[in-house]
Each structure stands twice: as C-alpha cells, then as structure tokens.
Amino acid sequence: MIGVPAVWLQLASATHAPRWRATLTDAAGYPLVADLPVTGGQLSRAWDGSPRTSAQVYLPASPQWQLIDQQYLPVGHRLHLQYRIEGDGLADSWVTMADLDVTDSAISRPDDMWTLHAVDRSARIAVDDLARAAVPPVAGEVIVDAVTTLLHRTFPGTQVLATGPVLTQRVPTKYNEDTADGSPWDLITALCAEAQSEVFYDTDRRVRIRPIPTVASAAADTVDVGEEGSVVGYTVKHEMSINTVAMVYRASNGQVLRRGYAEDRRPYSPSSVQRVGSHVVEGRVIDSDGAPSQAEADAAAAAWLTRQGKPRAAELQHPSRPWLEPGDTVQVSFLGGPTELQVVESVGVDLGHEGLQTTRLRNHDYQMSTEVP
C-alpha cells in the first residue's frame, strides 16, 4: 500500500473532499506545467498488467485553432499525479500516487480536448528490444543480478529493491537460448516468475521484486458495505479453481531432476481435491541443469498454487482509495456477512468528478461451512 496519513483511511469511508493534482515535468522531474487542468481520466494498476501502472487524463484545449502545444507531446516528459483529502487537519499532505512517462497524446476537434496517456517505466524497457544489444542472462547467475543488468541496459542507475528467492535462486539454462531479440521486460518478468516472484515499478520509480503476495495476517485497509460502509456496489464470483500444481525441473538432456508437487486438501476449501472429486492441475516445466531441494521444489509449487488458485473473487465499486495497490490485503465485509481478508488484484481509479474506484480482489483462503474428509 502507498503510504498515506492514517486519518485518510477513516475519512475515505465518510463524506470527504478528495483532490487530485497533476504536474507535467521533463525527464529529470523539473516542472513544466505545475497544475494541469485535468477534467477526467483514470489511474489503473493491475497485478497481471503490462505495464502494471497506467494513467489517462483529459485536458481542455483552446477552442481557437493554433499550433499544437508541444509540451503535451510524448518527448520524454513525465506525468506526476498527487492526491490529498481536504480537511484532514494536516499541512501540505499531498501524496504521490503515480510518476509515469507520457507515451502518447492526442488532440480532438471539435471536442477541444487533449488526451494524455502515461505508463510506468517497464513499458519503456519493453520497447528497448534486445536486438539493439542483447544482454542474455548467464545460466547459474543469481536472478536478481541478471534482472539488474537488464534494467541498467535501458536506465542505468535504476534502484532495485529485492527480497525473497530472487536473492539466491539462479538463472535456468533455458534463458541462454533465443534471447537475441524480444522484450527485455518480458524476460525480466519470466526470470522473476521462476523464483515465484513479481517485479514492478513503485511510485518512486524504483524497481521492486518480492515473493508473489498472498493473504496477509492483517489488513492494510478496510472496505465495508452496508450503512456503515462505503461500497456502492459489488459482485462476488466463485469458480472451480486449480487444486494441484506440479513443477518439473528438467535438465538440458531431458532428464527430470526434481518434481515439486502441491495439492489443496484443506477440509473446508471449495476447490480441494476431495471436494471436487478430481485434480485440476497446472503443470510447469523449468529447464535447468540444477534443481532445488525437494523441500524447496514443493514449497515453490505450494506458493504457485496459492497465487494461481482463486476459488473466490470480488469486484467492488467505492469512493476512491487510490493508495491501494495489487498485492495489498484488505478486509471486506459483505451484506449479511462474512467479514474476510482478500488480496487486491487490480484497481481502477476515476480522476473525474465521480471519484469512484473499481477494486478487484481474490481470496484463496475462502472456506466452506461444511468439512470434507
């Protein structure tokens, strides 16, 4: 979750006055237009999005025909979005919600409207095709080092904050092949996925790598429905989710070195093997001349099962809480119960007058009321 004053979490659930401030800067962050006259748009963040964070803003154009305002052209400029809640009792409490690169702009007539589209820097890395100067990962190299090299190929000096298996797990042999061209960001995300991790740019334009988030023991924020809540509408979805993951570690000669395995056999799980009566399997093959221990392989399979299995999901519409990010755990209370913890999959924040937000959630830990052996 983006760090905001604690009082905002309470104010956002009651009648409040949110405010957005948008600034156009040059590539170094120097302000070009300090207060863009934004009339609408959306800020989006999605766990499986590429790029993960994007924004679209609408700006009024002069009704008089004139030369195009070249400050709005995609020439390396950045869009800086900040948010605050009026009357929070704090002085100058603007918080940065996004710092993105402008990638395209359009002016429409007779609507007299500019549309600016901006994305996080992963999109810039993605279009710096490896055909320019391939930097293939080295088999056996620690994954975080390989990722850092690929990042610095486009943006030298990018700060990388990493935790979890990428600090020790090594690059499989398959990444020495077919890396003469293609998207560096796709390669980066694939390398991190080998270590059951995600990679993304944060609001400070740093790259973060961490284990794929699951439901935490405590919620970062609370979103409720009913008379005391702020949710204006929701949809809850259930599906027969995967209940088994098999991860096969295979050497270059085809020999199977290790097989990581995990099953959902929780007695109250809606997708457990014994409840649905069959295995719903996701299989993954990892080519590598080295393999983790059996315990590590099984743990990797269990982590993937927790991330990919989502027997219960929800979509909420509520007044904006733009500090929520994919991977955050939130507490949700539905009409008539229950109250449960769910993980944020994506958010779409309206930048216009309505100020509504769509938040999509998942809950791997949802439990049935009946037990099966």
The residue-averaged pLDDT of 77-93 equals 89
Same domain, 193 and 279: no
Same domain, 19 and 97: yes
Task: Quickly count: other Cβ atoms within 10 Å of residue 294's Cβ.
Answer: 12
Same domain, 59 and 137: no
267 and 372 in contact (C-beta within 8 Å)?
yes
Rg value, the chain, Cα:
23
pTM over 0.85: yes
Share of the chain above pLDDT 90, in %: 54
Inside any domain, residue 338: no
Higher-scoring residue by pLDDT: 17, 43: 43
Inside any domain, residue 91: yes
Separation of alpha carbons 164 and 214, rounded Å: 14
Same domain, 25 and 112: yes
Same domain, 108 and 13: yes
> For residue range 260-292, what is the model confidence (pLDDT) as tens digits?
999 999 999 999 999 999 999 999 888 777 777
Separation of alpha carbons 314 and 96, rounded Å: 27
SS3 299: helix
Q: Which H or E element spans position 40?
A: strand 40-46
Of 208, 309, 193, whose CA–CA distance to 262 is shortest? Answer: 309
Cα-Cα-Cα-Cα torsion 8, 9, 11, 16, nearest 10 degrees, comes to: 80
Burial of 85 (0-12, 13-18, 19+ CB in 10 A): buried
Residue that is last in its domain, among 88, 120, 152: 120
Inside any domain, residue 160: yes
Q: Which H or E element spans position 20?
A: strand 17-25
163 Cβ partners below 8 Å, 6+ apart? 209, 210, 211
Same domain, 14 and 58: yes
Same domain, 136 and 197: yes
For 9, phi and psi rounded to 5 degrees?
A: -65, -30
| Mean pLDDT over each residue of the chain, to the nearest integer | 89
Token pair of 246 as six digits: 């098999």
Q: How many domains does the chain have?
A: 3
Same domain, 64 and 169: no
Of 363, 370, 278, whose CA–CA distance to 314 is shortest? Answer: 363
Same domain, 49 and 85: yes
Inside any domain, residue 99: yes
Of 348, 356, 308, 352, whose CA–CA distance to 324 is shortest? Answer: 348
Which domain range does residue 161 map to? 124-204
The residue-averaged pLDDT of 348-369 equals 88
Is residue 111 scored above 60 in pLDDT? yes
The residue-averaged pLDDT of 342-361 equals 92
CATH code for the domain of 295:
3.30.1920
Same domain, 70 and 168: no
Inside any domain, residue 231: no
Same domain, 195 and 252: no
Inside any domain, residue 148: yes
Inside any domain, residue 331: no
Q: What count of Cα atoms within 13 Å lies in the side-chain half-sphere of residue 249?
A: 23
Q: Which H or E element spans position 191?
A: helix 184-194
Residue that is last in its domain, among 153, 176, 204: 204
Inside any domain, residue 195: yes
Task: Quickly count: other Cβ atoms within 10 Å of residue 337's Cβ.
Answer: 7
For 199, phi and psi rounded to 5 degrees?
A: -135, 135
Same domain, 303 and 274: yes
Beta bridge partners of 5: none
Separation of alpha carbons 332 and 364, rounded Å: 14
The residue-averaged pLDDT of 292-319 equals 85
Got the DSSP string for 192-227? HHHTTEEEEE-TTS-EEEEEPP---SS-SEEEE-ST
> For residue range 131-178, what is the model confidence (pLDDT) as tens digits?
998 787 887 899 999 999 999 999 999 999 999 999 998 888 777 665
Higher-scoring residue by pLDDT: 259, 365: 259
Of 354, 358, 349, 352, whose CA–CA distance to 43 is shortest? Answer: 349
Residue that is last in its domain, among 255, 276, 309: 309
